[in-house]
Amino acid sequence: MYRHLNFLTSLRDAGQRRQLLMNMTSSQTKTLCEIAKRIADGTITILRRDAETFARKRLVLRTLASERVGVSRKKEVLKRHHTLLPILLRERYIIETIIDEIRRARRASEQ
């Protein structure tokens, strides 16, 4: 999964994020939802300035993190709540997701 995070690091401009929302593939959607899942589960420690936003968008995060919700529905949710995208794309959350994914893969290979 962490190899799909490469596209996230280049999205600085609002126009680039808008293009991502319009032309998002299913793997890109799943990657963003994986970050949302780790934030909702508490695996990633959130920044203090983002805590209020995530508290307000709690149901959106749960929808993105849910395995029962389809990818097309998650794309619609991301388009509707596009203000959440720059927060999910913070470098700290991306890096912690990559580190957590590497740890998980390492644990699986040891067993």
Over the chain (111 residues), the average pLDDT of each successive run of 10 is: 58 75 85 90 88 92 95 93 86 82 86 78
- Degrees, nearest 5: CA angle 97-100-92: 35
Please tell me whether residue 68 adopts helix, strand or coil conformation.
coil
> Are residues 33 and 74 in contact, defined by beta-carbon separation less than 8 angstroms?
yes
Residue given tokens 């849910």 in the structure block: 66
pLDDT of residue 57: 92
pLDDT of 2 reads 52
